[in-house]
Amino acid sequence: MSTNFDVNRIREDFPIFKNHPDLIYLDNSATSQKPFQVIRAVTEFYEKSNANPLRGLYDLAQTATEEYEQAREKVRKFIHAARADEIIFTRNATESLNLAAYSFGDLVLHEGDEVVVSIAEHHSNLLPWQAAAARHGAVLRYLECDEKGKITEEAFRAALTKRTKLVAITQVSNVLGRKNDIKTFAKACHEKGIAIVVDGAQSVPHMMVDVQDLDVDFLAFSGHKMLAPMGIGVLYGKHKYLKKMQPFLSGGEMIESVTRERTVFAQPPQRFEAGTVNAGGAVGLGAAIDYINAIGFEQIEKQESMLTQLAAERLQKIPHVHLIGSDDPAEHHGILTFSIDGVHPHDIAAILDADHIAVRAGHHCAQPLHQHLGVMSTTRASLGFYNTEEEIVKFTDSVAQIRRKMGYDE
Ligand SMILES: Cc1ncc(COP(=O)(O)O)c(C=O)c1O
């Protein structure tokens, strides 16, 4: 490890670890913990700058608006978008994907068209497309992965037909941890005039994502998985599409003018941010971006891949434990989903909890993927840069004891 990354120093920024000294938190894919810098930024917004942004003309309302718009600018830079008006604040990745499926789906889908989704999608990037396809008489087609979770360029290209209008796909799977080659997939889509909507919920917090380099049409992610508060999310969309899309929600602060008969909607992004916005959440997301930038993705990826490798190698050595997805730790990106012969994932999670280890058990909102893999449910450990090698050793030692605790001889 490089000397300027001191995990013990970093952990001091996270009050949760002071309040729960025994906690080994390995549920980072569900939500991350928050550093005091983010908590303080949100508190300060409410203590010093609170007014309803984007409407009041008095000084304090202008301050609130400025802080909200500064947060938008931080997000723009963070994902390397060309324009700030391509950044829409939502509640979370789920709302972002629903917005895309309604507003963009309405713009491009017609009867007989095809929407392609991968079998590995989180329900948040599946259900909105199922509904959009049904509303427009379009067909939802599934892009299968191999048994290790890989989607090859060949398989991707083969799924695109003359009727395909859009592809909705995750950058990193929340179950397999596998990263899709979005740049190659976007190129394949655009060669055929197809749009690509990317779920970045598990990628944006852990790696540098450049929407212009990837050339994605839409990118959705949640603040709460990247150190920010719950209740703030982002949808990036190319301006050429956003300007043509109708709003998903309507009401206050998203109009140019309203008469008894008709409404002229505001330009993006306001057109897609109906009602009072979550300015405190946006300011918190801005502070989270500052925090991540101060460490840098190089250090974050180094620490997370070192921990992933350690965890995967130790899990792979335990008899009766099966790592789901690739055998190569480098393809897990902080996500280690596993099963243990003869032990239900809920029992695994409960036994680990008794050792103060927090993991997730169930289908992880990816039931079609579990059906595809032939398992009902699994257990997932997901890592963050503030986890330590010592925690990984305790976690894997605890996993190694589970079958014995359940009454098996070995
Ligand atoms: C890949 C992926 N997409 C979407 C979501 C939905 O995120 P949220 O619940 O914040 O909307 C999640 C949450 O776990 C996820 O892992």
Q: How far is the CA of 48 from the centre of ligand 1 (A)?
A: 32
Ligand 1 and 125: CB distance under 6 A: yes
Q: In 3-state terms, the chain is what percent helix, strand and coil (to 5)?
A: 45, 15, 40
| pLDDT at residue 1, rounded to an integer | 41
> In whole angstroms, what is the distance from residue 346 CA to residue 338 CA?
12
Instruction: Give me the half-sphere count of Cα atoms (radius 13 Å) on the Cβ side of residue 185.
Output: 26
Q: How far is the CA of 100 from the centre of ligand 1 (A)?
A: 15
Ligand 1 and 222: CB distance under 6 A: yes
Q: Which atom of ligand 1 is nearest to the CA of 93?
A: 11
Distance of CA 153 to the CA centre of its chain: 23
Q: How far is the CA of 222 from the centre of ligand 1 (A)?
A: 7
Q: What is the pLDDT of residues 366-407, one digit of tens each?
A: 999 889 888 889 999 999 999 999 999 999 999 999 999 999
Report how far apart, in Å, the C-alpha atoms of 275 and of each of 84, 211, 255, 271 are.
20, 27, 11, 10
> In whole angstroms, what is the distance from residue 380 CA to residue 308 CA?
12
Which residues does the annotation mark as catalytic? 365
| pLDDT at residue 56, rounded to an integer | 80
Q: Which atom of ligand 1 is nearest to the CA of 170?
A: 1
276 three-state secondary structure: coil
Ligand 1 and 202: CB distance under 6 A: yes
Cis peptide before 229 (omega within 30 of 0): no
| pLDDT at residue 2, rounded to an integer | 45
Ligand 1 and 93: CB distance under 6 A: yes
Q: How far is the CA of 129 from the centre of ligand 1 (A)?
A: 15
Sign of CA dihedral 399, 400, 401, 405: positive
- Write out the two tokens for 326: 């690739």
Nearest one of 314, 335, 313 to 384, comparing CA atoms: 335
- Write out the two tokens for 378: 């699994």
| pLDDT at residue 254, rounded to an integer | 87
CB–CB of 264/256 below 8 Å?
yes
Averaged in consecutive runs of 10 residues, what is the pLDDT profile of the chain (410 residues)?
Answer: 79 98 98 98 98 90 97 98 98 98 98 97 96 98 91 97 98 96 98 98 98 98 98 98 95 88 92 96 98 98 98 97 95 97 97 98 90 90 98 98 93
Q: Which atom of ligand 1 is nearest to the CA of 92?
A: 11
> In whole angstroms, what is the distance from residue 201 CA to residue 361 CA?
19
> In whole angstroms, what is the distance from residue 60 CA to residue 53 CA?
9
342 three-state secondary structure: coil
Residue of the CA atom closest to atom 14 of ligand 1: 30
Phi/psi for 257 (5° steps) reads: -160, 150
Ligand 1 and 120: CB distance under 6 A: no
Residue of the CA atom closest to atom 15 of ligand 1: 201
Q: How far is the CA of 207 from the centre of ligand 1 (A)?
A: 16
Q: What is the pLDDT of residues 22-31, one digit of tens each?
A: 999 999 999 9
Report how far apart, in Å, the C-alpha atoms of 139 and of each of 14, 117, 129 are.
46, 11, 10
Ligand 1 and 176: CB distance under 6 A: no
CB–CB of 377/363 below 8 Å?
yes
Nearest one of 188, 183, 208 to 198, comparing CA atoms: 183
Q: How far is the CA of 251 from the centre of ligand 1 (A)?
A: 26
Give every CB contact of residue 15 below 8 A, 6+ residues apart in sequence.
Answer: 34, 36, 39
Ligand 1 and 124: CB distance under 6 A: yes
Ligand 1 and 122: CB distance under 6 A: yes
Q: In the chain, count of helices (H) and strands (E)?
A: 16, 15
Residue indicated by tokens 């335990």:
318
CB–CB of 348/341 below 8 Å?
no
Residue indicated by tokens 């190694």:
400
Angle CA 46–52–56, to nearest 5: 130
Q: Which atom of ligand 1 is nearest to the CA of 364?
A: 14
Q: Which atom of ligand 1 is nearest to the CA of 95?
A: 11
Ligand 1 and 270: CB distance under 6 A: no
Residue 299 per-residue DSSP state: H
CB–CB of 80/212 below 8 Å?
yes
- Single pTM value for the model: 0.97
> In whole angstroms, what is the distance from residue 105 CA to residue 279 CA?
28
Residue of the CA atom closest to atom 13 of ligand 1: 30
| pLDDT at residue 255, rounded to an integer | 86
Report how far apart, in Å, the C-alpha atoms of 176 and of each of 23, 105, 379 are.
24, 28, 11
Q: Which atom of ligand 1 is nearest to the CA of 199?
A: 3
The alpha-helical segments, DSSP class H, found in 58-125 are 59-78, 93-99, 105-108
Nearest one of 207, 227, 201 to 90, comparing CA atoms: 201
Ligand 1 and 74: CB distance under 6 A: no
CB–CB of 17/23 below 8 Å?
yes
Q: How far is the CA of 201 from the centre of ligand 1 (A)?
A: 5
